[in-house]
A = this chain, B = another copy of it.
Amino acid sequence: MLGLLVAERDGEPHVLLQAKAEPGNIDGIQLSPTVQATRSNYTRVHRGGATRYLEHFTGPGRGRVLVDSLQSEQGAWFWRKHNRNMVVEPVGEVAEHPDYRWVALRTVRRLLRVDHLVNMDTRSVLGCLPPESTSVAEASVAEASVAEASVADASVADASVADAFVADAPAPRSLTSWLIDAKQSCPWRTRLVPLADVRGWTRTATEIAADSGRSFRIIAVRVAAGTREVRQWAQPLLAPGGPGLAAFLCRSTGPVPRVLVRARTEPGLGDLVEIGPTVQWTTDTGPATPEEAGPFDAMALTGDTARVRFDAELSEEGGRFHRAATRYRVVEADDALDDLLDDARLPADYRWLTVPQLRALVVRGQHVNVQARSLLACLAAPPPP
């Protein structure tokens, strides 16, 4: 579970963050949500200490739940992993502890621009909050209901267009049908196989690695720590070949700002397909597979700084991955490419969404992948000074 406590302090929403070291982290300590615990952590299978602040998220002491959803994580690396993402307003005052601080939401969003500081779990939860929230009330379920309505509104809008053309044109697909079409047209079938049967991979005394050397490796680390639930342990980590790339093309001009999303197929996702960024590369040197390539790759990598709204290299989960980094970019689409970006001309796996539409899908759970949720958090970062 990834749990974030949020409360009004000094007239603006603050969140309770933990400064936390993970064995795979770049730069050691990063900003983590209030609670970041696997089921075995918080049910104390490993006989570690109790998880601090957990009582605000589960059981009779639970506060007011603002966000609660099951979200996928890296479908290229995990087999059907999902994590509960919760934002809770606690009942009464909650005191800080040495590794925990109440930080203004505005400040956290500014810190997203610092490389390797706000960790993946925090970004995933922030991606579930409305970007404009400047009070706890705005960050609350009332916003969620607006967001829920947005998906429906989009369908209604589609429907009224259809009404106008029903005699001579097919109805445009609703957002829901677009995503189900993508799932249904995916030809992949996945099943678990014994590790010994996987061709092209070799297990040595120290790692499991692809013979080609071009993919990730599974390594192991021994960890000694003073503040973790268990003080010493050894564990496997997945070490990627290099940093990845995740980018949103966006349109801030026009009546409604929009982002360009792509239906993304990943073998470890429950339904195989979720909504991903415009561009998502496993390594930032280029598409790792033909499926990763797309017509907007060059635009996402533009050097034209006037069009780059966000650009930072951030870490993926340091408890599972060894020095895994992704370059996150939000890039204003080039008006010169209007033709390519026109709805009718977009390839079938792309679609323009408003931010409220995208958030409404996030709230449903298991519809928007972790890279796109990170980018949603980054979209809310204030402009650099």
Contacts and interface: CB of A to CB of B under 8 A. Distances in A.
User: How many identical chains are in the complex?
Assistant: 2
Contacts of A89: 166
A202 interface: no
Given A84-B180, A141-B152, A191-B192, A171 B70 contact: no
Contacts of A177: 65, 68
B149 A91 contact: no
A184 B84 contact: yes
Interface string A121-162: 000000000000000000011101100110111011011001
A170 B62 contact: yes
A380 B61 CA distance: 40
A68 B149 contact: no
A270 B153 CA distance: 29
A158 to B, nearest CB: 8
Contacts of A166: 64, 89, 91
Interface residues of A, number: 47
A62 B171 contact: yes
Interface in A255-279: 270-271
Interface string A314-325: 000000000000
Contact of A170 (B61, B70, B159, B162): B61
B156 A141 contact: yes
A89 B364 CA distance: 27
A23 B253 CA distance: 59
A174 interface: yes
A60 interface: yes
Given A60-B170, A63-B171, A166-B64, A152 B159 contact: no
A81 interface: no
Contacts of A41: none
B176 A156 contact: no
A327 interface: no
A69 interface: yes
A173 interface: yes
A39 B70 CA distance: 29
8 nearest A-B pairs in the assembled complex, by CB-CB distance: A145-B152, A148-B152, A64-B171, A141-B155, A68-B177, A64-B162, A141-B159, A65-B177
Given A70-B180, A149-B152, A270-B270, 7 more contacts: A64-B159, A68-B180, A69-B176, A70-B183, A91-B171, A145-B152, A148-B148
13 contacts: A64-B166, A65-B171, A68-B174, A68-B177, A69-B176, A70-B180, A70-B183, A70-B271, A91-B171, A140-B159, A141-B159, A145-B152, A148-B149
Interface of A: 1, 39, 60-65, 68-70, 84, 89, 91-92, 140-142, 144-145, 148-149, 151-153, 155-156, 158-159, 162, 166-167, 169-171, 173-174, 176-177, 180, 183-184, 191-192, 270-271, 364
